[in-house]
């Protein structure tokens, strides 16, 4: 499969080889590397990891396109869902985006918040990548009025002080370093990465520790069945700790996560016996996680039942869950589209707008593959978006 992928340039190849050599050195020194560690190093090694280096990631020049890159409709719908919450919290409310990407979401969201009369006290962007922080800062400085740009604050770690407001994350959980597990004769094994005789990366299963084994057994109990021998998939035993870390200081407000994934019963279907892990390189998806470390994205789908459990453990309640298309429609997508369409006179621009809606909502695009989960904490139910609450499909969890 990887033989059909585009070839990197000489500089990119050298970049990847450098990271690959560091990974080989770590394996040689410390032994088999858990796949979660391998994924973390490939994505986040300072200066070399996929999200930590200077290569374009988002949009036509990158490796994939996220919903905010398509246009402003997605961000404006998210803002519409959050406005009642922000209104209930008052002028001291903050907005935090986790993983700001190219800055497209922050730009559109700040403009929409301004138009709605609910600009937050701070628009915080939690972005660990220094390269992406700089790209986001340049974009917002160039495209926003000075007064709006002044509300933007970049964080390299979660807020330590208590705050009230809303938290948003689009395609973030899928990029958390995932644990890969495998079943053998009723026992849980964890996938590791080792080197073969030619120093190539290969997979090796080792008995799982108590944390991973316990997480897999919890899923089996919840599903009411055991995984068969040979079954292999992903799990995020660290998800409750991650949610607590990023949202533990959010005293009252709401959180909204959008990502591709499934309910637990769908995620762990018996026939999905090799999990959901995949790599993205120059808009091509493939299955070789060891191809060009540092140059490709590695990602796994989200178990939204696990996300609900993690949010609950952090003191939040699941307010609503649904496919992305239903969320956007419930948040006024049709009205926004019609207003924009009528305001345009250029047929090419109208066509691009129509294509944006199709990509966001069609089942074979983002409409069904992506799911949205809304959490609430410390606020009255009347402060939650009425249309979104009416479209809730949380019973599927």
pLDDT tens figures, 141-177:
999 999 999 999 999 899 999 999 999 999 999 999 9
Place of tokens 């935090």: 96
Say how far apart CA 6 and CA 282 lie, in whole Å: 8
CA distances from 63 to 33, 315, 347 (A): 26, 36, 28
| DSSP code, position 3 | G
Amino acid 199: pLDDT: 95
Amino acid 52: pLDDT: 83
Give φ, ψ of 140 to 5 degrees.
-70, -40
Say how far apart CA 98 and CA 246 lie, in whole Å: 9
The mean pLDDT of 211-232, rounded to a whole number, is: 98
Q: Are 167 and 254 in contact (CB under 8 A)?
A: yes
pLDDT tens-digit map of 330-385: 999 999 999 999 999 999 999 999 999 999 999 989 989 999 999 999 999 999 99
pLDDT tens-digit map of 294-343: 999 999 999 999 999 999 999 999 999 999 999 999 999 999 999 999 99
Give φ, ψ of 62 to 5 degrees.
-100, -145
Q: Are 74 and 328 in contact (CB under 8 A)?
A: yes
pLDDT tens-digit map of 255-292: 999 999 999 999 999 999 999 999 998 878 999 999 99
Say how far apart CA 41 and CA 371 lie, in whole Å: 27
The number of distinct structural domains making up the chain is: 1
Residue 172: count of CB within 10 angstroms of its CB: 19
Q: Where are the alpha helices (DSSP H) in 204-258?
A: 210-223, 239-247
- Per-residue confidence band for 58, with pLDDT thresholds at 50, 70 and 90: very low
Q: What is the mean pLDDT of the chain?
A: 94
CA angle, 170 as apex, 167 and 172 as ends, to 5°?
95
Residue 187: count of CB within 10 angstroms of its CB: 11
- Per-residue confidence band for 1, with pLDDT thresholds at 50, 70 and 90: very low
What is the number of alpha carbons within 13 Å of residue 47 lying toward its C-beta?
3
The continuous run of DSSP H or E covering 343 comes out as helix 333-343
Amino acid 59: pLDDT: 46
Say how far apart CA 275 and CA 268 lie, in whole Å: 8
Which residues constitute the domain of residue 300? 1-397
Say how far apart CA 155 and CA 167 lie, in whole Å: 13
Amino acid 63: pLDDT: 53
The mean pLDDT of 106-118, rounded to a whole number, is: 97
Amino acid 2: pLDDT: 52
The mean pLDDT of 73-100, rounded to a whole number, is: 97
Distance of CA 391 to the CA centre of its chain: 22
Residue 333 in tokens:
């997508």
Say how far apart CA 105 and CA 153 lie, in whole Å: 14
CATH number (domain holding residue 52): 3.40.50.12710
Say how far apart CA 320 and CA 386 lie, in whole Å: 11
Q: Where are the alpha helices (DSSP H) in the chain?
A: 10-30, 35-44, 67-70, 73-89, 104-116, 130-143, 146-149, 210-223, 239-247, 264-267, 304-313, 324-330, 333-343, 347-361, 386-390
Q: What is the share, in percent, of the chain residues with pLDDT greater than 70?
A: 96
Question: With 70 as the cut, is the pLDDT of residue 61 above it?
Answer: no
N-terminal to C-terminal alpha carbon distance within the chain: 35
Give the residues across from 169 on adjacent strands: 98, 257
The mean pLDDT of 112-137, rounded to a whole number, is: 94
* Beta strands 250-262; 163-170: pairing state: parallel
Taking each continuous run of H as one helix and of E as one strand, the counts in the chain are: 15, 16
Question: With 60 as the cut, is the pLDDT of residue 134 above it?
Answer: yes
Name the CA radius of gyration of the chain, rounded. 21
Q: Are 252 and 209 in contact (CB under 8 A)?
A: no
Question: With 80 as the cut, is the pLDDT of residue 213 above it?
Answer: yes
Amino acid 3: pLDDT: 55
The mean pLDDT of 92-117, rounded to a whole number, is: 96
């Amino acid at each position: 499969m990887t033989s059909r992928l585009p070839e990197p340039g000489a500089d990119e190849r050298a970049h990847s080889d450098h990271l690959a050599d560091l990974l080989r050195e770590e394996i040689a020194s410390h032994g088999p590397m858990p796949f979660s560690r391998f994924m973390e190093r490939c994505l986040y090694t300072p200066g070399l990891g996929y999200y930590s280096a200077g290569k374009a990631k988002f949009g036509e020049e990158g490796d994939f396109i996220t919903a905010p890159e398509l246009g402003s409709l997605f961000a404006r719908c998210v803002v519409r869902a959050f406005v009642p919450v922000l209104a209930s919290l008052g002028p001291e409310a903050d907005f935090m985006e986790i993983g700001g990407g190219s800055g497209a979401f922050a730009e559109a969201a700040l403009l929409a918040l301004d138009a709605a009369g609910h600009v937050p006290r701070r628009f915080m962007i939690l972005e660990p990548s220094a390269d992406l922080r700089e790209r986001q800062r340049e974009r917002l400085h160039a495209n926003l009025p000075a007064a709006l740009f002044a509300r933007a604050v970049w964080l390299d770690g979660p807020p330590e002080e208590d705050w009230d407001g809303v938290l948003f994350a689009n395609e973030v959980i899928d990029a958390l370093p995932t644990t890969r597990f495998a079943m053998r004769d009723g026992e849980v094994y964890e996938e590791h990465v080792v080197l073969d005789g030619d120093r190539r990366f290969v997979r090796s299963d080792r008995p799982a520790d108590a944390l991973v084994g316990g997480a897999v057994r919890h899923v089996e109990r919840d599903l009411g069945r055991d995984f068969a021998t040979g079954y292999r998939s992903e799990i995020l035993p660290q998800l409750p700790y991650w949610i607590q870390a990023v949202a533990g200081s959010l005293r009252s407000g709401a959180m909204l996560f959008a990502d591709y994934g499934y309910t637990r019963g769908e995620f762990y279907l018996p026939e999905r016996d090799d999990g959901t892990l995949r790599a993205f390189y120059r808009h091509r998806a493939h299955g070789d996680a060891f191809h060009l470390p540092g140059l490709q994205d590695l990602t796994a789908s989200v178990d939204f039942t696990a996300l609900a459990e993690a949010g609950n453990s952090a003191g939040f309640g699941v307010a609503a869950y649904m496919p992305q298309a239903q969320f956007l429609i419930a948040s006024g997508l049709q009205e926004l589209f019609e207003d924009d369409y009528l305001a345009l006179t250029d047929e090419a621009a109208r066509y691009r707008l129509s294509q944006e809606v199709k990509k966001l909502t069609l089942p074979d695009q983002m409409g069904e593959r992506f799911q949205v989960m809304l959490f609430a904490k410390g606020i009255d139910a009347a402060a939650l978006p009425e249309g979104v609450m009416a479209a809730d499909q949380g019973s599927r969890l």
